[in-house]
Amino acid sequence: MRVKSVLLLSVLVSGAVLVGLTFVYPSVDDLMVENPFWNGLSKVYVSLDPVRVKELSELRTLVLNPGNSTLLILGPSTPFSEEDLRALRVFVSRGGLLVLADDFGSGNEVLEGFGVSVRFERLLLQDRLFKERNGLMPRTYGERVSCLMGVDSLVLNYAGVLRDVEGAVVLAWSSPFSYVSYEPSVPAEAVLSGPFPVVVECGFGEGEIIVVSDSSLFINSMLDLGDNAVLLSNLCRDELFIDEGHCIPSRLTVLRAGLSGVYSVLRMTEIRYGLCIVVVFVIFNVKWMKGDDEEVVVDEVEELMKRHPEYDRGLLEELQEKRRKARGYQ
Amino acid sequence: MILVLAVFSYSIVGASDLPRHVDPSLLGSEYPFSPQLFELYTSAFGSIIAGEYVDARSLLDTVLMAYAPPDVRESLEEYTDFVVDVIGGFESTESSLEEAVHHLRWLREKLAADSIDEALRCLWETNRTIGILEESSSPLALELKSSAQTLLQGVTELGLHLEDVNLEILGALEEAELIGLLRTAGLRESELVISIDVEEALVGSSASIEGYLVDVNGTGLQVRDVDVFLGGNRIDTVSTDFSGFFASEIDVPFLYQESVSVHAEYWPKEEDVDRFTPSSSDALEISLIYFSPSLKVEVPSVGYPSKTAKVSGWLSFEGEALGGIAVQAVSFGRRQISKSGEDGFFEFDIAVPSDVVEGMADVVVESKPSDLYGPVRVVEDMEITRLPVSLVLDKPSWTFSGGYAEIEGLVSFEGVPLGDCMVEVKGRNQVEYVRTLSDGKFVAYLEYPLISLSSRYPFSLKVVPEEPWLRSVAIDGDIFVVNVVTLFCAPVFLGAAVFYVLQRNRDAGFVASKVDALDVSLVGSPSDMSSRGGFEGLYLRALGAIALLSEVVIRPSNTIREYLALISGKVSAGIFSVFERLSLLYERWVYGRKRGGPPLRRAERMLEDLEDNSEFEG
């Protein structure tokens, strides 16, 4: 009885603490606006307050004036449906600016959907000379165009490169000393040597697509390096949207979403008050059951002998045994 | 508990990251890759040798852009500074050499010699810097944990280039000496002096230039051609008279700038080549006079997308209208050209694009130069804005689940109803699109299925007007949905459950103490009788009645059946029969298997029979 109670209490307390932690502990999801850690986008969210878009089809209703809107798709991981691509095409063709920053994700599906030739090359860009401390964080240099006003250099992080950029305007290049390989390596093991295009601009309808070969440009730990923040500011129009529908959520986020769902159900009037009644009822019931449990501990013959020392103990024990058998106990 | 927490927490926050970036704080600082760095220096050396000093400096700037940890950075900057000094040395040398060549061109051998001396001094300094560079190469390479071979090879090539420059200087020196020899043979220096009749002139007017071409003794050189240059362009060639005098009339160009320079040159021809040196006059400046008209522009302070903004203006000079002058307006990336009328007025209709961003926009108006009137430019601001529409909403505060909420609204602008606006109403799982009618009204329905539990359900409503110059409006709200079924059923079910449990617990309470249950046949004190309830109380009451009738009190040691045997024959058969049935019922209930509650009603009836019989007999 005591062991069971302790275990039950432990699980209940653990569950309560876990639920509390789930709500209190910040998101650790890659490229999520709620994530305040190095790989999150909380700085972007705090400074620019973008509208979070779960389904790209929502753009149809969310965007009032595409000509004055920017959509950020940063590091998409999950596939894009035909409906998503249609929504993107409509957005851009009506004057919207799409900023697609990706390296090893599903960004090529978007580019295919737009029918542009540019593609993300899934090779790792490194530069042992022009870098931010480490070759995995190469510095790139922009052309003198309006959207790169005030941008001298960008710092990338574990970036890819772009290929087939004919027909697009290259806005930024990696240095001639950069190189690409399948994994971190020395220049001698390079698959190809630079310079490589890393930011390009493609026209589509009345709008534009800015393709960036690194999904990490605007994460919290990178935003303040180089002129990354200036680039972001230049790209943002009055209305800013950010796609969150193509990220893979962590278990914490899934759990949090589940708990939010439970919370929303618990907010229902019937559930809320019903639950209160049940809780009160259970509390009382448990108390009664607790009284019931206590009798098991008491030895009824001993108790009776205390009250009536003159009784025949043997008879009482025989009677107790008969009762036990009559009730089906062994 | 801690273990459970640890396991759960780890599995949640330890979600694996995609290999898309690395935490910058975990990446260590790397030295620059020396082969690439030295390649940059080598390129810079190559540019120096090719005389492309701008490129060389640019390459060195690039070197400094390369990342290097602080301990290497200092050495790198010092080495780069030495290379920059070498560039400076070569530049100064070449500059002096060019100056010398220029003097040699005008056969000024003494001035040329001075410049050659200066070039030699600079070259010597450069040679010294190259020596330092050579000495610094190995320590730098050592710091970068690399070989200095590439750097030293580049420095050696610089040394070879220096020798080439030295040879050029020596060549110039020989040329200067040759001119000295020519001068000894009779070469005389010529001199050219000019003057202009005006210091400032109206554009389009004319000016007179005159001057003298004389030799070093002041003797005029007659019938020689002198070229006259205006702003770097040759505009006239005149011949000197017997005293070396020449004159030229020039037209002041329609240049709308502060001034223009004039100078003259003399180049000996034919036999004069061996007799006179070429000469150039000083450059004289003529200040240009032109009129700057006054341009008054009226731009609407506010513009609306898709509407036309009328921009007007008046071009004048000192109050007099200037007609027939081209005027252009540039706004929103478009250019329009017009002409001022006779009265100096002009007008533009500027179309504001429908997708323009709200905020300040520049409207640039400028008049083109014409004759004496120069250009003038005015930039005015126009605020681009969209006007807010009015939305009056009528919606219920609550509705039943299984029904719908009717949301009505009226969209208007300054009291005028707006038709054909798109209205989007978003419910929990529903999006409804409607358009406003010509009277500006719309009706949308939000449906709430029967399964919707009672709660506040939020909705949002957005109105997007058809006209681009009107701003969209959005409103959020909520509707309380009442689910009658669940609201009434839930308490009923809960009540039933509570009743059931309470009943169960009452029964449980009745047999709560098995000690008492075991004890009941043995206890028969009057105080116990009054204090007990339920079946037990009933039976005690019966025991009391039987004790009175039979005068036999049950003893604690008696079982029920023993007591029955004791009273048998001491009460009437009817009473005994009823009491026996009641006793056996009680015995069965106390010691038998529990199925539901006690048979209270039956027991009560038996007790009533017993008490009736007792009273009758009593």
Average pLDDT score over residue span B350-377 = 87
Q: Are residues A75 and A190 in the same domain?
A: yes
ipTM rounded to 2 decimals: 0.77
Q: What is the pLDDT of residue A162?
A: 94
Compute the nearest-CA separation of A71 from chain B (Å).
16
pTM value is 0.59
Nearest chain A residue to B433, by CA:
A61
DSSP string computed for A189-204: G-SEES--EEEEEEEE
Cβ of A307: how many Cβ atoms within 10 Å?
Answer: 12
Q: How far is it, in rounded angstroms, from Cα A161 to Cα B576?
A: 106
DSSP string, B525-543: -HHHHHH--HHHHHHHHHH
pLDDT of B233 strictly over 70: yes
Domain count within chain A: 2
* Two tokens, residue B447: 């449906």
By C-alpha distance, the chain A residue nearest B3 is: A14
On the question of pLDDT at B11 being above 50, the answer is no
Which DSSP letter does residue B274 get?
Answer: G
- CATH number at A182 reads 3.40.50
Do A60 and A131 fall within a single domain? yes
Percent of chain B whose predicted confidence (pLDDT) is above 90 = 35
Chain mean pLDDT for chain B: 84
Compare all CA atoms of chain A with the CA of B592 and give the residue at the minimum distance: A326
Name the residue type at position B143.
E
In a domain, A89, yes or no: yes
Same-domain status, A260 and A302:
yes
A196 and A294 inside one domain: no
- Name the residue of chain A whose CA is nearest to B9's CA: A18
Q: Are residues B143 and B38 in the same domain?
A: yes
Mean pLDDT along residues B9-23: 56
Determine the pLDDT at residue B329: 93
Which residues in chain B have Cβ-Cβ distances shorter than 8 Å to A309? none
Claim to verify: residue B236 and residue B123 sit in the same structural domain: no
C-alpha dist (Å) from residue B343 to A136, B155, B318, B319: 68, 73, 14, 11
- Say if B514 is an interface residue toward chain A (CB within 8 Å): yes
B20 contact A CB<8A:
yes
Q: Of A180, A214, A249, which residue sits at a domain end?
A: A249
Residues B52 and B174 placed together within one structural domain of the fold: yes
Q: Name which of B359, B382, B360, B361 is nearest B299 in CA terms.
A: B382
Read off the pLDDT of each residue in B37-50 and give the average, rounded to a whole number.
92
- Please indicate, yes or no, if residue B221 is contained in any of the structural domains: yes
Tell me if chain B has a CB within 8 Å of the CB of A5.
no
Flag whether B584 is in a domain: yes
Identify the domain boundary among A202, A224, A249. A249
Q: Quick one: A133 exposed, middle or buried, by C-beta within 10 A (0-12, 13-18, 19+)? A: middle
Residues B523 and B459 in one domain: no
Residue B10 binned pLDDT confidence (cut-offs 50, 70, 90): very low
| Same structural domain, B285 and B214 | yes
For residues B521 and B606, membership in a common domain is answered with: yes
- Per-residue pLDDT band for B507 (boundaries 50, 70, 90) equals low
Q: Same structural domain for residues B220 and B339? A: no
CB–CB of A94/A67 below 8 Å?
yes
Q: Are A217 and A159 in the same domain?
A: yes
What domain range is B553 assigned to? 513-617
Tell me whether residue B310 is in a domain.
Answer: yes
More confident residue, B528 or A167: A167
Spans in chain A with pLDDT lower than 70: 1-2, 145-146, 285-298, 327-330
Helix B70-105 / helix B109-143 crossing angle, nearest 10 deg: 160
B348 or B2, greater pLDDT? B348
Mention every residue, 6+ apart, whose C-beta is less than 8 A from residue B110: none
CB contacts of A323 in chain B (<8 Å) are 518, 591
Calculate mean pLDDT across residues B125-140.
92
Q: Are residues B410 and B469 in the same domain?
A: yes
Q: Are residues A121 and A226 in the same domain?
A: yes
User: Are B19 and A158 inside 8 Å of each other by CB?
Assistant: yes
Model confidence over B403-435: pLDDT tens digits? 889 999 999 998 899 998 989 888 877 888 899
| CATH number for position B372 | 2.60.40.1930
**Domains identified in chain B, total number:** 5
Give B193 to chain A, closest Cα distance, Å.
Answer: 48
Report whether pLDDT(B194) > 90: yes
Contact: B455, A29; criterion CB under 8 Å = no
Same domain, yes or no, for B379 and B394? no
Tell me: do A230 and A285 sit in the same domain. Answer: no
Are A175 and A298 in the same domain? no
Do A134 and B27 make contact, defined as CB atoms within 8 angstroms? yes
CATH number at residue B535: 1.20.120
**Where a domain ends, among B461, B482, B503?**
B482
Residue of A nearest to B16 (CA): A250
Kindly state whether residue A82 falls inside one of the protein's structural domains. yes
Tokens of A266: 């618990």
B284 and B318 inside one domain: no
Picking from A134, A215, A303, the nearest residue to B28 by CB comes out as A134
| Domain endpoint, select from B289, B310, B340 | B289
Smallest CA–CA separation between B89 and chain A, in Å? Answer: 28
Residues B240 and B340 in one domain: no
User: Is B497 part of a structural domain of the chain?
Assistant: no
Residues A8 and A108 in one domain: no
Which pLDDT score is estimated for B17? 43
Give domain status of residue A18, yes or no. Answer: no
The confidence score (pLDDT) of residue A164 equals: 92
Do both B176 and B38 map to the same domain? yes
Is position A318 within any domain? yes
Q: What is the DSSP letter of A50?
A: P
Where is the domain boundary, B482, B500, B528?
Answer: B482
Which DSSP string corresponds to B446-503? EE--TTPPSEEEEEEEEEE-SSTTEE-EEEEEEEEEE-HHHHHHHHHHHHHHHHHHHH
Tell me the C-alpha distance between A25 and A22, whole Å. 6
Kindly state whether residue B370 falls inside one of the protein's structural domains.
yes
A267 and A236, same domain (yes or no): no
Is A140 within a domain? yes
Same domain as A232, residue A270: no
Task: Decide if B228 is inside a domain.
Answer: yes
Question: Torsions phi, psi of B523, nearest 5?
Answer: -110, 130
Evaluate whether residue B49 is within a structural domain.
Answer: yes
With CB atoms and an 8 Å threshold, state whether B464 touches A64. yes
**Is residue B334 over pLDDT 70?**
yes
Q: Is A78 on the interface with B (CB under 8 A)?
A: no
Structure confidence at residue B515 (pLDDT): 40
What is the residue range of A184's domain? 29-249
**Neighbouring residues of B396: CB distance < 8 A, sequence distance ≥ 6:** B405, B406, B479
Q: Per the CB < 8 Å rule, is B23 touching A39?
A: yes
Distance CA B536, CA B242 (A): 160
Token pair, residue B600, equals 């209270």
CA distance A70 to A235: 7
Query: What's the mean pLDDT in B304-319?
Result: 91
Any domain includes B23: no
Q: Check whether residue A219 and residue A271 sit in a common domain.
A: no
- Partners of A242 in the β-ladder: A52, A72
Whether B518 sits inside 8 A of A219 (CB atoms) is no
pLDDT per residue as tens digits for the range B77-132: 999 999 999 999 999 999 999 999 888 878 778 888 899 999 999 999 999 999 99
Q: Which of A249, A277, A312 is the last residue of a domain?
A: A249
Q: Is B29 an interface residue toward A (CB < 8 Å)?
A: yes
